[in-house]
């Protein structure tokens, strides 16, 4: 029991320290919170028109614009998650020191992920709150399904970010991989343009990306109708998360040999 309590304390110490680091560099976090709201305002009229011309799966323009920006900007945060771990290894050289401390790897990773999760959750909820308040967004079956996706999708992003940070060696690599994969995934997921408007080959590749399933989950949560349904979408997101964690664990084991 005492040992478990010590573990909780170490987790809390890492999480608190992660908050201090995030507070020390709040620019990206503020940008990733405010810009999606601005962009929703900008692209919503276009999405409303598109929804009228090509009624995709019953998603209205406001829901499409909001879900799209929620997915897109959480994918940008994925890079921050990875950078937080990569900086410890390559920029600050603090990883060995922290690993040599009593903190276990799980406590460190969870401690670093917890504040990021809180940020992602707030980012998603603020965006949906903004759309609800300004554009009258109303989910078909209440807010609980949206809240569920707003919890599940950030968890998936965190797992993927953790995995990505262990597979790349430099910040430049992470930046390139993070930006490119965020943009490609955003487009293929139908977050920027509705899936129905995408070229056929891209529509077929879309389901290979986690963003596609996040969009699907949000659409289900907002409209109550979607090709794959909420449960299936969340299950696939869980699969992506596990794959990210497995990649991270594999790379971590390889690094400690």
Closest approach, Cβ 114 to other proteins, in A, equals: 15
Angle between helices 210-223 and 171-188 in degrees, nearest 10: 40
Residues between 74 and 93 that touch other proteins (CB under 8 A): 92-93
Q: Which is nearer to other proteins, 54 or 97 (CB)?
A: 97
Handedness of CA 173, 174, 180, 185 (dihedral sign): positive
Among 8, 20, 38, 208, binds other proteins (CB under 8 A): 20
Closest approach, Cβ 73 to other proteins, in A, equals: 24
Residue 112 binds other proteins (CB under 8 A):
no
What is the total count of residues that contact other proteins (CB under 8 A)?
Answer: 24
What is the DSSP annotation of 124-180? HHHHHHHHHHHH----TT-SHHHHHHHHHHHHHHHHHHHHHHHH--SHHHHHHHHHH
Residue 221 binds other proteins (CB under 8 A):
no
CA–CA dist 6, 77 (Å, integer): 30
212 in Cβ contact with 227 (< 8 Å): no
Per CB under 8 A, the segment of 4-12, 31-39, 176-184, 205-213 that binds other proteins is: 4-12
Assigned token pair, 247: 């990649």
Note the Cα 158 to chain centre separation in Å. Answer: 6
CA–CA dist 241, 154 (Å, integer): 10
Among 96, 105, 144, 179, binds other proteins (CB under 8 A): 96
Among 103, 127, 174, 217, binds other proteins (CB under 8 A): 103
CB proximity list for 48: less than 8 A, separation 6 or greater: 60, 61, 62
Residue 249 binds other proteins (CB under 8 A):
no
Angle between helices 61-86 and 210-223 in degrees, nearest 10: 140
Assigned token pair, 18: 């992660």
Residue 105 binds other proteins (CB under 8 A):
no
Per CB under 8 A, the segment of 3-11, 161-169, 177-185, 193-201 that binds other proteins is: 3-11
Per CB under 8 A, the segment of 2-10, 48-56, 185-193, 208-216 that binds other proteins is: 2-10
Per CB under 8 A, the segment of 98-106, 115-123, 141-149, 160-168 that binds other proteins is: 98-106
Q: Which is nearer to other proteins, 99 or 203 (CB)?
A: 99
Residues between 21 and 60 that touch other proteins (CB under 8 A): 21, 24-25
Binding residues vs other proteins (CB under 8 A)? 6, 9-10, 13-14, 16-17, 20-21, 24-25, 92-94, 96-103, 256-257
């Amino acid at each position: 029991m005492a040992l478990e309590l010590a573990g909780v304390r170490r987790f809390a110490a890492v999480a608190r320290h992660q908050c201090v680091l995030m507070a020390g560099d709040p620019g990206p976090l503020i940008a990733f919170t405010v810009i999606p709201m601005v962009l929703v305002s900008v692209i919503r009229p276009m999405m409303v028109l598109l929804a009228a011309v090509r009624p995709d799966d019953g998603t209205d323009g406001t829901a499409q614009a909001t879900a799209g920006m929620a997915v897109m900007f959480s994918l940008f945060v994925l890079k921050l998650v990875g950078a937080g771990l990569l900086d410890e290894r390559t920029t600050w050289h603090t990883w060995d020191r922290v690993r040599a401390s009593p903190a276990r790897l799980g406590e460190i990773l969870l401690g670093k992920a917890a504040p990021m999760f809180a940020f992602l959750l707030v980012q998603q909820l603020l965006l949906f709150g903004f759309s609800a308040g300004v554009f009258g967004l109303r989910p078909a079956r209440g807010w609980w399904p949206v809240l569920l996706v707003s919890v599940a999708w950030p968890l998936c992003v965190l797992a993927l970010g953790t995995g990505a940070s262990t597979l790349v060696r430099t910040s430049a690599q992470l930046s390139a991989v993070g930006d490119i994969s965020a943009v490609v995934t955003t487009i293929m997921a139908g977050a920027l343009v509705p899936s129905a408007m995408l070229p056929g080959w891209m529509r077929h590749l879309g389901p290979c990306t986690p963003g596609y399933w996040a969009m699907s989950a949000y659409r289900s949560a907002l409209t109550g109708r979607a090709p794959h349904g909420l449960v299936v979408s969340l299950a696939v997101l869980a699969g992506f998360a596990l794959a990210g964690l497995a990649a991270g664990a594999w790379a971590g084991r390889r690094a400690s040999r």
